[in-house]
Structure 1
Amino acid sequence: MRGKRYPDEFKIEAVKQVTERGHQIADVAERLGVTSKSLHNWINKFDKPEKQHITIDNQQD
């Protein structure tokens, strides 16, 4: 069974807490009730320049 689904806005905010505000991944994950692995995955997906987001999104269609 798969885990809970989170909207992209939630994931992006979680990533910002790590990448822009300097919080530890484990702390953010625990506070938000997600796994550190999920947060790592979100960082890999969302911590890229906007142009890359568009390219990646277009390739998945």
Structure 2
Amino acid sequence: MRRREYSEEFRRDAVKQVVENGYGIMETAERLGMHHDSLRNWIKKYKSPEAELETKKSEDASAEIKRLQKELKRVTEERDILKKAAAYFASNPN
């Protein structure tokens, strides 16, 4: 059997199904088409304090990105409104 490479996101989601949703390791591994030992190793890896800290940092970064995207959208809309207002007042001197 050929060795498969799994993305980091896939690994985290698989671990989450077992840890947070309470599914069994064997059941989850079979459903995902992988060996149960791989899933067991991922669970050990992601439950370590370092991994939890890294996950927290990643979640914080994602939240910050979403916040900044929202702010950028608002500022862009404000800028567009100001451009239209400036164009209006420039064409109507009264």
Q: TM-score, normalised by structure 2?
A: 0.50
Unpaired stretches in structure 2, ≥5 consecutive residues: 55-94
Q: How does 1:30-41 map to 2 (within 5 A)?
A: 30-41=30-41
Contact preservation (8 Å) 1:15, 1:39? yes
Question: What TM-score do the two structures reach when normalised by structure 1?
Answer: 0.76
Cα RMSD after superposing both structures:
1.6
Residue equivalent to 1:22: 22
Segments of structure 1 that go 5 or more residues without pairing to the other structure are 55-61
Runs of 4+ in 1 over 6 A off after TM superposition: none
Distance in 2, Cα, partners of 1:3 & 1:27: 20
Aligned length: 52
Q: Which has the higher contact order (CA 8 A, sep 6+)?
A: 1
Structure with bigger gyration radius = 2
Distance 1:2 1:33 in 2: 13
